[in-house]
Structure 1
């Protein structure tokens, strides 16, 4: 699977990024239908105001919400759309994706289970996180659990410490 800088001509990349930011993705899907996953990923990454209608459009175009795609050259994990939404703590987008059929337990290409959960938790400790941000993290975890996330026994203690700094973190206690 190509990253967008590999299939879009160099002179068009700037316009592509602007269009993704503004939600003008349909012409790019029509022009490069074989790269719809990369376009969808770029839209999720670059547009901060995704709508339910936008997600439904991509689903109607045949997007599998659980397929992993590499959006840009630095995307080493080949994330799912849900993982992107979790990583950027976008509660509404997480809700939309889960309701549209995204799986809360999709592993990475490396076999890491519960990766959407890892994405939302990575680097955050309730001891220093702003309360409004902690609420978004907890809301996302609650949505993931409501839609089938089963982290029990999936996250070794060392991984918990890696993501949150120490094992008594309030968010981690809520999660597990």
Structure 2
């Protein structure tokens, strides 16, 4: 077994924090999709690769018709997060979903939000803006690396107005 050198420790700490934030973002993405009544919009394609190589690989990928999130390892050993969202008409029925999702990504990865600075883990060399088309493409190709998952429906809590007493 190969021992860890001192210069590997910052990368390991960086990767541990990126992984933690990624799965927090994934949980929030699923929570954003759960209140949607239309079942097809709650389906997602998941990819989990176990194969490790020196050229980088996809660790986890989440794709729904509305949102995209991917945890990836690069040849330098660092982890990165790619994201995407379906473009929505302003003030459309689901407009708040990508808006909230993007704000959440940057909120959780800013330097002030984590013990170590992971801001550069967000990769913007490509940002997917047609999640539904990508979803359909993977589905048509036979889902070679992905499997389907349905996010359970969870109605949004109704906020009641409190009355003043006395």
Query: TM-score w.r.t. structure 2 length?
Result: 0.28
Structure of higher RCO (CA pairs closer than 8 Å, 6+ residues apart)? 2
More helix by share: 1
Report the structure number with the largest CA radius of gyration: 2
Higher share of residues assigned strand: 2
* TM-score (normalizing by structure 1): 0.27
